[in-house]
Chain A
Amino acid sequence: MKDFKKLILRIAFTLTIVVIALLLGRMLWVRYMDSPWTRDGRVRADIVNISSDVSGLVTQVLVKDNQFVHKGDLLFKIDEERYHHTLAQMQAQLDQRRVMLEMKRAQSKRRDALDNEVISQELREDSDLFSASAKAEYDQAAAERDHAKLNVVRTAVLAPVDGWVSNLVVRPGDYAQAGAAKLAIIDQKSFWVYGYFEEHKLRLIHIGDPAEIRLLGSDQRLYGHVESIARGITDRDNPTDVRLLANVNPSFNWVRLAQRVPVRIKLDAIPKELMLVAGMTCSVIVKQAKQ
């Protein structure tokens, strides 16, 4: 009888430990697999590609690589001599058109005063129209002059936002093609985080949920909240060919990897001493919003 009691006690003790282990193991499993967090997060920022609005030789580069610039700061200058010449040409054309306009107007005015005995009615009417046409030509020349003036102004390339210059490859003497990007500016106020969440975790994420961001290899925590969730990712199993036919991948795996959907996290505040770099890796933990 005593041995039997002892046996029961032994079994009970062991089974208790086993049950505790199962419960704890399940808790860890649920926490690890089913809570909305990901190690696959990236710090992102808006990048502005800077290119000149007019073509020409670069005469001056006033910034260094990775330098902080304020909105409106001069980044580099295009040789403006040619544009000054064009401006002078357009100004001359405008002056000429103005003289012509004055002449046509004077003619028209004079002819209006004459009666049909002196000039034909046709000639009189035409002179009014000539004067109107001269006015139109004058306006056209004025627009061309303004355009030339704008080109001169645009030889100075200015920073459109506060931020850091990056990937500066332009040197004095380079030829800058209008519209070809010469450097990038990383917008200082635009930092945000992309968390790439497995598709099965998306149902646990709602817009406005608070999120915690931990940078890779650092104890520093950032806080933010879910701003939006991407509504489309590429179907990698079906690239279309040149004739736009479907090209469905015939492989079907026993083990399937969940695809990742980008979730955009807006950062609430960035500590001043923290240096965020666009492209950094981070973990993103989304918490359920308090109801």
Chain B
Amino acid sequence: MPREIALLDALVPTLLIAFMISVLLSWALDWLFSHLGLYQHIWYRSLFRLAVFICFFSVLGLMIY
């Protein structure tokens, strides 16, 4: 995977794209969890959301680098 991506002729690190994708993924998972009512099995919602986001971001980042 290239380490830079051209956004409107400005080359930005692919990590920025990974960040945006992980935001979308966590939103999707958040929506899924609340719809299926899975949050009742979760202790601290915010902590869980943050951890999930970091997981997504790290995995995507590790794929790039």
Contacts and interface: CB of A to CB of B under 8 A. Distances in A.
B20 interface: no
A214 interface: yes
A108 B47 CA distance: 113
B3 interface: yes
A217 B59 contact: no
B60 to A, nearest CB: 9
A13 B41 contact: yes
Quick one: which of B15, B50, B55, B57 has the most chain A CB within 10 A?
B55
A39 B42 contact: no
Interface string A23-58: 011011001100101010000000000000000000
Given A214-B3, A216-B4, A28 B62 contact: yes
Interface residues of A, number: 27
A21 interface: yes
A11 B43 contact: yes
A31 B62 contact: yes
Interface residues of B, number: 24
A273 interface: no
B58 to A, nearest CB: 3
A243 interface: no
A17 interface: yes
A283 B65 CA distance: 12
B31 interface: no
A218 interface: yes
A181 interface: no
B58 A24 contact: yes
Contacts of B54: 21-22, 24-25
A247 interface: no
A216 B11 contact: yes
Interface string B30-65: 000000000001111001101110110111011001
A129 interface: no
Contacts of B62: 24, 27-28, 31
Residues of A contacting B: mostly: helix
B41 A10 contact: yes
Contact of A28 (B4, B41, B42, B61): B61
A217 B11 contact: yes
B21 to A, nearest CB: 14
Contacts of B50: 21
A219 interface: yes
A39 B44 contact: no
A10 B42 contact: yes
Nearest to A8: B43
A90 B42 CA distance: 102
B22 to A, nearest CB: 11
A53 B49 CA distance: 73
A17 B51 contact: yes
A117 to B, nearest CB: 102
Interface of A: 7, 9-11, 13-15, 17-18, 20-22, 24-25, 27-28, 31-32, 35, 37, 39, 214, 216-219, 283
Given A14-B47, A17-B51, A22-B54, 6 more contacts: A18-B48, A27-B62, A31-B65, A216-B11, A217-B6, A283-B3
20 contacts: A9-B41, A10-B41, A11-B43, A14-B44, A14-B47, A14-B48, A17-B48, A17-B52, A18-B47, A18-B48, A18-B51, A21-B51, A21-B55, A25-B54, A27-B62, A31-B62, A32-B15, A39-B4, A217-B4, A217-B6
